[in-house]
Amino acid sequence: MGAFLIPFLILVGIIIFISNVKVVPQAHAFIIERLGAYKETWGVGLHIKVPLIDKVANRVSLKERILDFAPQPVITKDNVTMQIDTVVYFQITDPKLYTYGVERPILAIETLTATTLRNIIGDLELDETLTSRDIINNKMRIILDEATDPWGIKINRVEVKNIIPPADIQNAMEKQMRAERERREAILKAEGEKTSNILVAEGKKQSLILEAEAEKEAAILRAEAKKEAAIREAEGQAEAILKIQHATAQGLRMIKEQELSKEVIAIRSLEAFEKAADGKATKIIIPSDIQNIASLVTSIKELSNN
Protein backbone atom coordinates (compact mmCIF):
# COMPACT_ATOMS: atom_id res chain seq x y z
CA MET A 1 0.00 0.00 0.00
CA GLY A 2 2.90 2.31 0.73
CA ALA A 3 4.08 1.78 -2.82
CA PHE A 4 0.84 3.29 -4.18
CA LEU A 5 0.71 6.20 -1.70
CA ILE A 6 3.77 8.01 -2.97
CA PRO A 7 2.67 8.09 -6.67
CA PHE A 8 -0.79 9.13 -5.55
CA LEU A 9 0.57 12.00 -3.53
CA ILE A 10 2.79 13.01 -6.43
CA LEU A 11 -0.21 12.95 -8.78
CA VAL A 12 -2.28 15.00 -6.36
CA GLY A 13 0.56 17.47 -6.02
CA ILE A 14 0.84 17.81 -9.79
CA ILE A 15 -2.91 18.39 -10.09
CA ILE A 16 -2.87 21.00 -7.33
CA PHE A 17 0.13 22.74 -8.90
CA ILE A 18 -1.47 22.81 -12.35
CA SER A 19 -4.75 24.11 -10.94
CA ASN A 20 -2.94 26.99 -9.29
CA VAL A 21 -1.06 28.04 -12.42
CA LYS A 22 -2.95 30.91 -14.04
CA VAL A 23 -2.41 32.62 -17.38
CA VAL A 24 -3.76 36.15 -17.69
CA PRO A 25 -4.70 36.90 -21.33
CA GLN A 26 -4.14 40.17 -23.17
CA ALA A 27 -6.32 43.14 -22.10
CA HIS A 28 -7.32 41.42 -18.87
CA ALA A 29 -6.37 41.65 -15.19
CA PHE A 30 -6.92 39.32 -12.22
CA ILE A 31 -7.59 40.52 -8.68
CA ILE A 32 -5.87 38.20 -6.16
CA GLU A 33 -6.99 37.91 -2.55
CA ARG A 34 -5.09 36.15 0.22
CA LEU A 35 -7.20 34.93 3.09
CA GLY A 36 -9.99 37.31 2.04
CA ALA A 37 -7.84 40.43 1.72
CA TYR A 38 -6.61 42.09 -1.44
CA LYS A 39 -3.10 40.97 -2.23
CA GLU A 40 -2.24 42.08 -5.78
CA THR A 41 -3.37 42.56 -9.37
CA TRP A 42 -2.02 40.20 -11.96
CA GLY A 43 -1.26 41.52 -15.39
CA VAL A 44 -0.78 39.67 -18.67
CA GLY A 45 1.34 36.51 -18.36
CA LEU A 46 1.88 33.33 -16.34
CA HIS A 47 1.20 33.42 -12.58
CA ILE A 48 1.13 30.86 -9.72
CA LYS A 49 -1.00 31.33 -6.65
CA VAL A 50 -0.65 29.65 -3.29
CA PRO A 51 -3.14 26.79 -2.95
CA LEU A 52 -5.96 27.19 -0.42
CA ILE A 53 -4.65 30.61 0.57
CA ASP A 54 -4.81 32.76 -2.55
CA LYS A 55 -7.82 33.02 -4.81
CA VAL A 56 -8.79 34.95 -7.93
CA ALA A 57 -11.40 37.36 -6.60
CA ASN A 58 -12.26 38.99 -9.95
CA ARG A 59 -11.38 38.73 -13.61
CA VAL A 60 -11.53 42.18 -15.17
CA SER A 61 -11.58 43.00 -18.89
CA LEU A 62 -9.65 46.15 -19.76
CA LYS A 63 -11.28 46.51 -23.18
CA GLU A 64 -13.62 49.38 -23.95
CA ARG A 65 -17.22 48.41 -23.28
CA ILE A 66 -20.56 49.67 -24.53
CA LEU A 67 -23.68 50.09 -22.42
CA ASP A 68 -26.88 50.65 -24.36
CA PHE A 69 -29.56 51.75 -21.90
CA ALA A 70 -33.29 51.56 -22.48
CA PRO A 71 -35.20 54.82 -23.10
CA GLN A 72 -35.59 56.92 -19.97
CA PRO A 73 -38.55 59.26 -19.34
CA VAL A 74 -37.36 62.83 -18.86
CA ILE A 75 -39.17 66.16 -18.48
CA THR A 76 -37.96 69.32 -20.21
CA LYS A 77 -37.99 72.82 -18.77
CA ASP A 78 -41.29 73.58 -20.55
CA ASN A 79 -42.90 70.44 -19.03
CA VAL A 80 -42.76 68.13 -22.06
CA THR A 81 -42.20 64.46 -21.23
CA MET A 82 -40.10 62.53 -23.71
CA GLN A 83 -38.18 59.28 -23.95
CA ILE A 84 -34.39 59.41 -24.38
CA ASP A 85 -32.04 56.46 -24.64
CA THR A 86 -28.28 56.79 -24.36
CA VAL A 87 -25.17 54.79 -25.19
CA VAL A 88 -22.14 54.94 -22.86
CA TYR A 89 -18.62 53.92 -23.92
CA PHE A 90 -16.40 53.20 -20.91
CA GLN A 91 -13.17 51.44 -20.02
CA ILE A 92 -11.79 50.06 -16.74
CA THR A 93 -8.52 51.75 -15.88
CA ASP A 94 -8.02 50.44 -12.32
CA PRO A 95 -9.15 46.83 -11.72
CA LYS A 96 -8.74 47.16 -7.91
CA LEU A 97 -11.02 50.22 -7.66
CA TYR A 98 -13.47 48.63 -10.09
CA THR A 99 -13.62 45.51 -7.86
CA TYR A 100 -13.85 47.21 -4.49
CA GLY A 101 -15.11 50.69 -5.34
CA VAL A 102 -18.82 50.10 -5.94
CA GLU A 103 -21.26 47.25 -5.77
CA ARG A 104 -22.57 46.27 -9.20
CA PRO A 105 -20.75 49.01 -11.16
CA ILE A 106 -22.75 48.50 -14.38
CA LEU A 107 -26.01 49.17 -12.54
CA ALA A 108 -24.37 52.16 -10.87
CA ILE A 109 -23.38 53.61 -14.26
CA GLU A 110 -26.91 53.08 -15.60
CA THR A 111 -28.52 54.78 -12.62
CA LEU A 112 -26.04 57.64 -12.71
CA THR A 113 -26.64 58.10 -16.44
CA ALA A 114 -30.41 58.30 -15.96
CA THR A 115 -30.23 60.88 -13.14
CA THR A 116 -27.63 62.98 -14.99
CA LEU A 117 -29.76 62.96 -18.13
CA ARG A 118 -32.82 64.12 -16.19
CA ASN A 119 -30.87 66.96 -14.61
CA ILE A 120 -29.49 68.19 -17.93
CA ILE A 121 -32.78 67.92 -19.85
CA GLY A 122 -34.60 69.64 -16.98
CA ASP A 123 -32.64 72.82 -17.75
CA LEU A 124 -33.49 72.75 -21.47
CA GLU A 125 -36.68 73.45 -23.37
CA LEU A 126 -38.03 71.12 -26.04
CA ASP A 127 -36.50 72.90 -29.01
CA GLU A 128 -33.13 73.15 -27.26
CA THR A 129 -33.24 69.46 -26.40
CA LEU A 130 -33.86 68.51 -30.02
CA THR A 131 -31.06 70.70 -31.35
CA SER A 132 -28.42 70.36 -28.61
CA ARG A 133 -27.32 66.75 -28.75
CA ASP A 134 -23.63 67.63 -28.79
CA ILE A 135 -24.03 69.80 -25.70
CA ILE A 136 -25.95 67.06 -23.88
CA ASN A 137 -23.37 64.42 -24.84
CA ASN A 138 -20.46 66.55 -23.68
CA LYS A 139 -22.06 67.48 -20.34
CA MET A 140 -22.99 63.89 -19.59
CA ARG A 141 -19.51 62.62 -20.43
CA ILE A 142 -17.86 65.13 -18.09
CA ILE A 143 -20.25 64.45 -15.20
CA LEU A 144 -20.13 60.66 -15.56
CA ASP A 145 -16.35 60.62 -15.92
CA GLU A 146 -15.90 62.59 -12.69
CA ALA A 147 -18.42 60.43 -10.83
CA THR A 148 -16.95 57.09 -11.97
CA ASP A 149 -13.31 57.99 -11.48
CA PRO A 150 -13.26 56.62 -7.86
CA TRP A 151 -14.61 53.34 -9.28
CA GLY A 152 -11.64 52.91 -11.63
CA ILE A 153 -13.81 53.59 -14.69
CA LYS A 154 -13.05 56.01 -17.53
CA ILE A 155 -16.05 57.31 -19.52
CA ASN A 156 -14.77 57.82 -23.06
CA ARG A 157 -17.92 58.90 -24.83
CA VAL A 158 -21.67 59.36 -24.27
CA GLU A 159 -24.15 59.47 -27.14
CA VAL A 160 -27.84 60.35 -27.06
CA LYS A 161 -29.21 57.79 -29.50
CA ASN A 162 -32.91 58.62 -29.71
CA ILE A 163 -35.09 61.48 -28.53
CA ILE A 164 -38.76 60.50 -28.73
CA PRO A 165 -41.23 63.31 -27.95
CA PRO A 166 -44.95 62.66 -27.31
CA ALA A 167 -47.23 61.78 -30.23
CA ASP A 168 -48.99 65.16 -30.31
CA ILE A 169 -45.64 66.95 -30.31
CA GLN A 170 -44.43 64.72 -33.14
CA ASN A 171 -47.57 65.52 -35.18
CA ALA A 172 -47.10 69.24 -34.60
CA MET A 173 -43.43 68.99 -35.54
CA GLU A 174 -44.29 67.06 -38.70
CA LYS A 175 -46.84 69.72 -39.69
CA GLN A 176 -44.30 72.44 -39.00
CA MET A 177 -41.65 70.64 -41.02
CA ARG A 178 -44.12 70.09 -43.87
CA ALA A 179 -45.05 73.77 -43.86
CA GLU A 180 -41.38 74.72 -43.78
CA ARG A 181 -40.64 72.43 -46.73
CA GLU A 182 -43.56 73.90 -48.68
CA ARG A 183 -42.35 77.41 -47.85
CA ARG A 184 -38.85 76.58 -49.02
CA GLU A 185 -40.23 74.96 -52.15
CA ALA A 186 -42.27 78.09 -52.91
CA ILE A 187 -39.22 80.27 -52.33
CA LEU A 188 -37.09 78.11 -54.59
CA LYS A 189 -39.79 78.13 -57.26
CA ALA A 190 -40.11 81.93 -57.06
CA GLU A 191 -36.36 82.35 -57.20
CA GLY A 192 -36.23 80.00 -60.19
CA GLU A 193 -38.91 81.98 -62.03
CA LYS A 194 -37.14 85.21 -61.16
CA THR A 195 -33.86 83.86 -62.45
CA SER A 196 -35.59 82.58 -65.59
CA ASN A 197 -37.20 85.98 -66.24
CA ILE A 198 -33.89 87.71 -65.68
CA LEU A 199 -32.18 85.35 -68.10
CA VAL A 200 -34.91 85.85 -70.72
CA ALA A 201 -34.71 89.63 -70.35
CA GLU A 202 -30.93 89.48 -70.51
CA GLY A 203 -31.20 87.35 -73.65
CA LYS A 204 -33.57 89.83 -75.28
CA LYS A 205 -31.26 92.65 -74.30
CA GLN A 206 -28.27 90.90 -75.80
CA SER A 207 -30.31 90.13 -78.92
CA LEU A 208 -31.28 93.78 -79.32
CA ILE A 209 -27.68 94.83 -78.77
CA LEU A 210 -26.49 92.35 -81.37
CA GLU A 211 -29.17 93.48 -83.83
CA ALA A 212 -28.22 97.13 -83.29
CA GLU A 213 -24.56 96.30 -83.75
CA ALA A 214 -25.43 94.34 -86.92
CA GLU A 215 -27.45 97.30 -88.24
CA LYS A 216 -24.59 99.60 -87.41
CA GLU A 217 -22.10 97.35 -89.17
CA ALA A 218 -24.44 97.06 -92.19
CA ALA A 219 -24.89 100.85 -92.33
CA ILE A 220 -21.14 101.32 -92.14
CA LEU A 221 -20.63 98.78 -94.93
CA ARG A 222 -23.33 100.44 -97.07
CA ALA A 223 -21.77 103.86 -96.52
CA GLU A 224 -18.35 102.52 -97.37
CA ALA A 225 -19.78 100.85 -100.50
CA LYS A 226 -21.47 104.10 -101.59
CA LYS A 227 -18.30 106.00 -100.88
CA GLU A 228 -16.27 103.51 -102.87
CA ALA A 229 -18.79 103.67 -105.75
CA ALA A 230 -18.73 107.47 -105.71
CA ILE A 231 -14.95 107.47 -105.66
CA ARG A 232 -14.81 105.07 -108.58
CA GLU A 233 -17.44 107.05 -110.49
CA ALA A 234 -15.52 110.26 -109.90
CA GLU A 235 -12.34 108.54 -110.96
CA GLY A 236 -14.10 107.29 -114.13
CA GLN A 237 -15.43 110.75 -114.92
CA ALA A 238 -12.03 112.27 -114.32
CA GLU A 239 -10.46 109.63 -116.53
CA ALA A 240 -13.08 110.27 -119.23
CA ILE A 241 -12.45 114.03 -119.05
CA LEU A 242 -8.74 113.39 -119.31
CA LYS A 243 -9.28 111.17 -122.34
CA ILE A 244 -11.53 113.82 -124.00
CA GLN A 245 -9.00 116.51 -123.30
CA HIS A 246 -6.27 114.26 -124.60
CA ALA A 247 -8.28 113.52 -127.76
CA THR A 248 -9.01 117.22 -128.25
CA ALA A 249 -5.38 118.10 -127.80
CA GLN A 250 -4.43 115.34 -130.21
CA GLY A 251 -6.89 116.64 -132.76
CA LEU A 252 -5.63 120.15 -132.45
CA ARG A 253 -2.12 118.90 -132.78
CA MET A 254 -3.01 116.99 -135.95
CA ILE A 255 -4.77 120.05 -137.38
CA LYS A 256 -1.76 122.11 -136.61
CA GLU A 257 0.56 119.58 -138.23
CA GLN A 258 -1.56 119.47 -141.40
CA GLU A 259 -1.53 123.33 -141.62
CA LEU A 260 -5.04 123.53 -142.98
CA SER A 261 -5.81 126.78 -144.74
CA LYS A 262 -8.77 128.94 -144.06
CA GLU A 263 -10.35 127.67 -147.24
CA VAL A 264 -10.25 124.04 -146.05
CA ILE A 265 -11.65 125.02 -142.68
CA ALA A 266 -14.44 126.91 -144.41
CA ILE A 267 -15.31 123.89 -146.56
CA ARG A 268 -15.39 121.70 -143.46
CA SER A 269 -17.71 124.19 -141.87
CA LEU A 270 -20.05 124.06 -144.85
CA GLU A 271 -20.10 120.30 -144.69
CA ALA A 272 -20.97 120.45 -141.06
CA PHE A 273 -23.67 122.99 -141.84
CA GLU A 274 -25.01 120.72 -144.56
CA LYS A 275 -25.30 117.82 -142.11
CA ALA A 276 -27.07 120.06 -139.68
CA ALA A 277 -29.51 121.11 -142.37
CA ASP A 278 -30.42 117.50 -143.05
CA GLY A 279 -31.93 117.22 -139.53
CA LYS A 280 -35.49 117.82 -138.48
CA ALA A 281 -34.97 121.43 -137.47
CA THR A 282 -37.57 123.76 -139.04
CA LYS A 283 -35.45 126.83 -138.63
CA ILE A 284 -31.79 127.26 -139.59
CA ILE A 285 -29.85 130.25 -138.42
CA ILE A 286 -27.18 131.19 -140.97
CA PRO A 287 -24.13 132.89 -139.55
CA SER A 288 -23.22 136.31 -140.83
CA ASP A 289 -20.05 135.05 -142.38
CA ILE A 290 -21.79 132.40 -144.46
CA GLN A 291 -21.90 134.67 -147.55
CA ASN A 292 -18.19 135.14 -147.47
CA ILE A 293 -17.79 131.44 -147.14
CA ALA A 294 -20.15 130.88 -150.09
CA SER A 295 -18.25 133.30 -152.28
CA LEU A 296 -15.08 131.64 -151.22
CA VAL A 297 -16.48 128.29 -152.30
CA THR A 298 -17.54 129.72 -155.64
CA SER A 299 -14.10 131.07 -156.24
CA ILE A 300 -12.59 127.73 -155.49
CA LYS A 301 -14.95 125.98 -157.95
CA GLU A 302 -14.06 128.45 -160.71
CA LEU A 303 -10.40 127.95 -160.19
CA SER A 304 -10.88 124.25 -160.34
CA ASN A 305 -12.81 124.49 -163.62
CA ASN A 306 -10.09 126.60 -165.26
* Predicted confidence (pLDDT) per residue in 121-139, tens digit: 988 888 888 888 899 999 9
Q: How far apart are CA 160 and CA 180, in angstroms?
A: 26
pTM for this predicted structure: 0.55
Q: What is the pLDDT of residue 212?
A: 87
Neighbours of 121 (CB within 10 A): 24
The per-residue pLDDT for range 265-279, each reduced to its tens digit, is 555 555 555 555 555
CATH class of the domain defined by 65-165:
alpha beta
Q: How far does CA 126 lie from the centroid of its chain?
A: 36
Q: Which are the contacts of 158, defined by CB distance < 8 A and separation ≥ 6?
A: 86, 87, 88, 89, 113, 137, 140, 141, 144
Q: Are 41 and 95 in contact (CB under 8 A)?
A: yes
> Is the confidence at residue 181, as pLDDT, over 70?
yes
Q: What is the pLDDT of residue 266?
A: 58
What mean pLDDT comes out for the span 230-235?
A: 83
Looking at the DSSP bridge assignments, the partners of residue 40 are 32
Q: What is the pLDDT of residue 256?
A: 61
- Please report, for the chain, the start and end positions of each structural domain, with discontinuous segments joined by +: 9-61, 65-165, 168-222, 257-276+288-306
Q: How far apart are CA 194 and CA 304, in angstroms?
A: 110
Which helix H or strand E contains 73, and what residues bound it? strand 72-75
> Is the confidence at residue 12, as pLDDT, over 70?
yes
> Is the confidence at residue 242, as pLDDT, over 70?
yes
The per-residue pLDDT for range 188-209, each reduced to its tens digit, is 888 888 888 888 888 888 888 8
What mean pLDDT comes out for the span 79-86?
A: 89
Q: How far apart are CA 171 and CA 244, in angstroms?
A: 107
Q: What is the pLDDT of residue 302?
A: 54
Check residues 138 and 252 and name the one with the higher pLDDT. Answer: 138
Q: What is the pLDDT of residue 65?
A: 93
Put the strands of the sheet holding 37-42 in their side by side order: 37-42, 28-34, 54-61
At 24, the pLDDT band (50, 70, 90 cuts) reads very high
* Max CA separation in the chain (angstroms): 208
Q: Which of 267, 265, 255 is CA-nearest to residue 300? A: 267
At 33, the pLDDT band (50, 70, 90 cuts) reads very high
CB-facing half-sphere around the CA of 292: CA atoms within 13 A: 7
Q: Which are the contacts of 67, defined by CB distance < 8 A and separation ≥ 6?
A: 87, 88, 90, 106, 109, 110, 113
